[in-house]
A and B are shown apart, each in its own frame.
Chain A
Amino acid sequence: MTEFRTAARDAAARIAACEAKGTHAFLAWSERALLEQADALAAAPAAARGALAGEAVAVKDVIADATFPTTCGSKILEGWRSPFEATAVRRLREAGALVAGKTGCDEFAMGSSTEWCAYGPSRNPVDPSRVPGGSSGGSAAAIAAGAVTMALGSETGGSVRHPAAFCGVVGIKPTYGRVSRYGLVAFGSSLDQIGTLGKDVASAARLLAAVSGRDDRDATTLDRVPLGEPGPAAASLAGTVIGVPREYFPAGLHAGVAAAARKALERLKTLGAELRDVSLPHTGYAVPTYYIVAPAEASSNLARYDGVRYGLREGGLSDVRAMYRATRGQGFGPEVRRRILLGTYVLSAGYYDAYYGKAQRVREAIRADFARVFASGVHALFTPTTPTPAFKFGEHIADPLAMYLSDVFVCTANLAWVPALSLPIGRDEGLPVGGQLIGPMEGESTIIRIAQALERVTDPVAEVR
């Protein structure tokens, strides 16, 4: 048996164990697919095997691949098999990775808990009564449960970092344009970005290196050489200036989260970093801005699911309008319908300037906040990733606004296109707490370097108070 077959078999056993516990991290996976890929890899010349040879990688179900269905966690795409694969998945294969399966997520990546997945939510392996966060909750849960060591997720407003924080793993949202969106099913195109999750900073960074780089199929990719592999963790952060934006530490912040962040900041200081109090004054407008821009784009991006060419078709064939209504009314879940309605409204004649137009201007102001702080000599910002640790199933499902506010610290980076990551910085009452590092445009290597140094001196499962 080749080493790759062994790796495939081990991965299958770990995934089976993860799913046997009821984690439901995966919507589709198969041992046979893993073995076939392992055999193909073994047959390839050694030189062509790439940096991730034999690594099992899970892929969020909003990313098209040619092996498994790509349902986006939606009934409207039940059983949909994409005739093409995403550039990121192609690069995974070229790097020698084994695509292990497709992970669960909120429908079309709209949500922060995976509770909006049409095929049932994923559970947080740390505490199965709690959500894994979202929308890339299945990817985070798969890693936390030990099924895989790395996974692809996607972000529109924090959907990689949020579940990474809830599950106690690492999640990186790269600079907009760093990873091709070709094959990532669109939600909010000006915000969407494929991100990576890993059991540690190096795993997430290695995966990012493999999938990053310009792509002729995505006109918004950056024309840069792909990111390199991460180096060893630095023992010192001397000379590094870390901004601490006061807007991310509001009075009344969850005590456990505040304590964890404080401990992480002390460690950064001990490592030699200079901590600087900074202000990003438009932070408070980020959630409302996000909930205009993202639904507006979503209302347009999701118009194609009309029952005409593929996916679900309901309502018979006698009247095309009736077919649209039935297909979309029955195919989309409540959160997706809510956002389509919201987005359609804000783009409507007479409302465009008041909502979408104004949101674009606020977005510019948020971007300018970051640019100003990074131009002042700050290398990265440190904040909590989420305002609370993982919440329980059903806690926010009836209150969309409470669910949306869970993204208050993460959606700014998507609006501003800057890279950000979340890493575990300890536990509060047994639940993981995430710390966030935000970098300047194209500053992935900076935040990865800082995160590796911090990770080296952090016990991620130690109680913070």
Chain B
Amino acid sequence: MTPGVGGDPADGAKAAAELGRRQAGATSWETVVGLEVHVQLLTRTKMFCACSTRFGDPPNTNVCPVCLGLPGALPVPNEQAVRLAVRAAYALGCTVHGRSIFARKNYFYPDLPKGYQISQFEEPLATGGSLAFVSAERGPVTVRIKRVHLEEDAGKSFHDRVPGMTAVDFNRSGVPLIEIVSEPDLRSPAEARAYLTVLKQVLGPGYVAVSNCNMEEGSLRVDANLSVRPAGSSELRTRTEVKNLNAFSGVERALTAERGRQIAATERGEKIEQRTMTFDAASGEVHPMRSKEESHDYRYFPEPDIPPLVLGEAWLAQERRQLPELPAAKRERFEKQFTLSSAESAVVTATAAIADYFEGMVKGEGSGKEAWNWVANDLLSLSTDGESIPLPVSRAVEVTGLVKAGKLSRQAAKRVLPEMLEHPAEPALAIAERLGLLQVSDSGAIDGWVRETLEAHAAEVARYRAGEAKLLGFLVGQVMKRSAGKADPKAVNAALAAALKT
């Protein structure tokens, strides 16, 4: 299991594929999905003012004339937000434009204080990227990214705090976002989920770290466009937009429901209307939004308060150079360099920190496979966040060294490792000793346990000698049990083999 990237996409994919087959009936339908993802950038201050972006503060405490849209206030772009947006765009393989234009998106809503959102429209920050992931259905897939642009968030409306009224919190107003628009290159709800999982891996704290990408806190938000067409066709049919998606699993469920609805409607001979659907996570159903809420003419025009965003070539090149090695490249390199399978490689590249840890362990261990075993089977279980391993590599190497030297069993190592977190200054050897876990390879003691075992299990010994070779394992286990797990299994094997020969 890969920590930190949430769920196994394959499970959902299988279920969804099955559902798709059942719903498709006689005609085989293909699903076409494109995603618009909003990602909140990890800046200290807002996009156009110096207010804090902290999540969870009391309502309307992180506000000022600019993000409240008071008369006469003006926006000034946040350099760090631009920097993070550029990093995200490069991480998605986009062309970042040296000149882009902010634009106003005009609409009335109580949580939109200026009556317009500052976004980008005709000349976005970046265009033409891609993101690769492994589809459970189609194998490796590359989704084209149409554009990445910068914008500010709106405030947040609460319809349930005051009976019959709407309450508005402007703490979120002006928080920097990037919108990442994909081409309609996804072919199933499960692929949509897998794409989001990889997007979060790349942009989240694990790698490029431009965002927390936390869907529950709203730092990653998804709108999905979906249409269906007969399998094998390349036409793009009328699509609907699905909103109100607030978990990766919800995206998959909502799209599965909307796909089912569209297929059923099409098979009844109905036309699909271009409209916006909203997902009800409780019932698992999609419903059309009221038409009043969806018919918008945003009257975009260039934002006159902000000059064109001009980014120098040298600055852009520097940002590009500073990008970390991304998970896909790392995975591929690890497969080759350490002869790992792609699944194995994925486990130790979940985050850059885990990958660095793994490479540190390879240095300490000498073998890629061994290092992988340690990281995947023992060390990752020490992680509380799935993003990093709290024990220093040098400390882990102390333990693996004891195992190699036959002083500690693989099993006992599992008990020493968490103890090392509690006692960072105590040597591994001392911990093993204190816990009575040091292995006995002293032949006198082992011979004694072997002798006792052979005596206690005379019947099994006889059957072994009569040709039931598989009983050797049982006998080894019994010796180990007598040693309370402290005997060196290699020495036990040797001693037992010798004793059984006589």
Q: Which residues from chain A sit less than 8 Å from chain B, CB to CB?
A: 63-64, 70, 72, 77, 80, 82-84, 86, 181-186, 188-190, 216-220, 296-297, 299-300, 302-304, 306, 308-310, 317, 320, 324, 344, 347-349, 352, 356
Q: With a CB–CB cut-off of 8 A, which chain B residues contact A184?
A: 72
Give the nearest-CB partner of B296 in chain A: A349
Output the nearest chain A residue to B305 by Cβ-Cβ distance: A189
- What residue of chain A has the Cβ atom nearest to residue B168's Cβ? A308
A299, chain B: closest CB distance, angstroms: 8
11 residue pairs bridging A and B, Cβ less than 8 Å apart: A80-B71, A82-B72, A83-B70, A86-B72, A220-B306, A297-B301, A306-B108, A306-B110, A324-B108, A347-B301, A352-B299
* Chain B neighbourhood of A220, CB < 8 A: 304-307
Q: Of all chain B residues, which has the CB nearest A192?
A: B304
* Sample of 4 more A-B contacts, CB < 8 Å, known A303-B108, A308-B110: A189-B305, A300-B116, A300-B299, A309-B68
Say whether B72 contacts A64, CB under 8 Å.
yes
**Structural contact, A344 and B304, CB atoms closer than 8 A:** no
Q: Does B87 contact A (CB under 8 A)?
A: no
Decide if B72 touches A347 in the complex (CB within 8 Å). Answer: no
Q: Determine the chain B residues whose CB is within 8 A of the CB of A303 once the complex forms.
A: 106, 108, 114-116
Q: Which residues of B contact A84 (CB under 8 A)?
A: 65, 70, 72-73
8 Å CB interface, B205-247 against A: none
**Pairwise interchain contact A185-B114, C-beta atoms closer than 8 A:** no
Q: In the complex, what distance in Å separates the CA atom of A356 from the CA atom of B122?
A: 14
Q: How far is the CB of B492 from chain A (nearest CB, A)?
A: 75
Asked if B165 is at the interface of the complex by the 8 Å CB criterion, the answer is yes
In the complex, what residues of B have CB within 8 A of residue A299's CB? 106, 299
* B486 sits at the interface (CB 8 A): no
CB-CB < 8 A to A348: which residues of B?
A: 297, 299
- Whether the Cβ atoms of B74 and A304 lie closer than 8 Å is no
CA distance A236 to B110 in the complex (A): 60
Q: Is the CB of A317 within 8 A of B165?
A: yes
Residue B77 lies at the interface, judged by CB distance under 8 Å to chain A: yes
- Of residues 50 to 69 in B, which have CB atoms within 8 Å of A's CB atoms? 65, 68-69
Q: Which residues on B sit within 8 Å (CB–CB) of A217?
A: 74, 76
The CA-CA distance from A376 to B72 in the complex, in Å, is 38
Query: Given the known A-B contacts A219-B77, A303-B114, are A82 and B71 also in contact in the complex, defined by CB atoms under 8 Å?
Result: yes
Chain A residues whose C-beta falls within 8 Å of the C-beta of B407 in the assembled complex:
none
Check if A304 sits within 8 Å of B71, measured CB to CB.
yes
Q: How far is the CA of A168 from the CA of B33 in the complex (A)?
A: 67
Given contact pairs A185-B71, A349-B297, A297 touches B304 in the complex (Cβ within 8 A): yes
Judging by beta carbons under 8 Å apart, are A82 and B110 in contact? no
Residues of B contacting A80 with CB < 8 Å?
Answer: 71
A309 contacts across to B, CB distance below 8 A: 68-69, 113
Contact between chains at A83 and B301 (CB < 8 Å): no
> Using Cβ atoms and an 8 Å threshold, which residues of chain A touch B76?
216-219
Nearest CB in chain A to that of B170: its residue: A309
Cβ contacts under 8 Å, A300 to chain B = 104, 106, 115-116, 299, 301
User: Are A183 and B114 neighbours in the complex by a CB distance under 8 Å?
Assistant: no
- A347 near B74 (CB under 8 angstroms)? no
User: Which residues of chain B (112-169) have a CB below 8 Å from chain A?
Assistant: 113-116, 165-166, 168
Which 7 residue pairs spanning A and B have beta carbons closest together?
Answer: A303-B115, A190-B304, A347-B299, A189-B304, A183-B72, A185-B71, A64-B72
**B250 interface contact, C-beta 8 A:** no
Evaluate whether A72 and B71 lie within 8 angstroms (CB atoms) in the complex, with A218-B76, A303-B106, A347-B301 already known.
yes
A338 CB to nearest B CB, Å: 17
Residue interface bits B287-304, CB-to-A below 8 A is 1, else 0: 000000000010111001
Which residues of the other chain, B, contact A216 by a CB distance below 8 angstroms? 76
B303 CB to nearest chain A CB (Å): 8
CA distance A352 to B114 in the complex (A): 21
Shortest Cβ distance from A328 into B: residue: B108
Question: How far, in whole Å, are A46 and B284 apart by their CA atoms in the complex?
Answer: 73
Asked if B75 is at the interface (CB within 8 A of a chain A CB), the reply is yes
Q: Which residues of B contact A310 (CB under 8 A)?
A: 70
B residues in contact with A297, CB < 8 Å: 301, 304
Residues of B within 8 A of A306 (CB): 108, 110, 115
Contact of A356 with B301 at beta-carbon distance under 8 Å, contacts A182-B73, A308-B168, A310-B70 already known: yes
